[in-house]
């Protein structure tokens, strides 16, 4: 697995936060995508999930995560189902996972271990960027870029 450090440009996103089983993520992704389209936003291609805790830390019903879509246009006032924010430019450690989404754990652990061994401080939640459309490819072909926001120590 190739782990790279890269800069992520500032990105405007429309998002929603959820609590509960990861099994609900595909439904939530569709739901958020529909809300984004209902708002008339021009999507720019990044679909992501940020995960604020893990099944190793909390019971399934307490899992917290955010599903979002990047878009082009003005930031909106937060009202209704979607939140809007600009994610500032930042540095990440990233690696690509190919295969079913529920098999991404080893990539997350490898990135965290790499960060620890190479003088990086993880400064935010793990984010998975979904690179292809699960309705178009089989689970074995799913491509996910796993990212940790980092700063280099010392």
CATH of the domain at 39: 3.20.80.10
- What does each of the 154 residues of the chain score in pLDDT, given as a tens digit? 899 999 999 999 999 999 999 999 989 999 999 999 998 999 999 999 999 999 989 999 999 999 999 999 887 777 778 999 999 999 999 999 999 998 999 999 999 999 999 999 999 999 999 999 888 999 999 999 999 999 998 6
Q: Per-residue b/e over 80-116, b at no fewer than 16 CB within 10 Å?
A: eebebeebeebbbbbbebeeebeebeebbebbeebbe
Tell me the C-alpha distance between 20 and 150, whole Å.
Answer: 27
Instruction: Report which of 50, 47, 81 is spatially closest to residue 63, judged by C-alpha positions.
Output: 50
73 secondary structure, DSSP code: S
74 touches 7 (CB < 8 A): no
Domain range spanning residue 133? Answer: 4-152
29 touches 46 (CB < 8 A): no
pTM of the shown model: 0.92
The total domain count for the chain is 1
């Amino acid at each position: 697995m190739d782990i790279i450090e890269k800069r992520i440009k500032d990105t405007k996103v429309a998002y929603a936060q959820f609590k509960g089983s990861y099994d609900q993520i595909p439904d939530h992704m569709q739901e958020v995508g529909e809300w984004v389209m209902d708002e008339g936003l021009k999507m720019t291609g990044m679909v992501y999930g940020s995960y604020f805790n893990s099944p190793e830390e909390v019971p399934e019903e307490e899992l917290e995560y955010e599903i979002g879509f990047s878009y082009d246009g003005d930031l909106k006032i937060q009202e209704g189902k979607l939140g809007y924010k600009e994610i500032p430019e930042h540095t990440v450690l990233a690696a690509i996972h190919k295969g079913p989404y529920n098999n991404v754990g080893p990539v997350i652990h490898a990135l965290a271990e790499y960060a620890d061994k190479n003088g990086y401080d993880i400064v935010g939640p793990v984010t998975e960027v979904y690179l292809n459309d699960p309705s178009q490819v089989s689970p074995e072909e799913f491509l996910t870029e796993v990212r940790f926001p980092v700063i280099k120590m010392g």
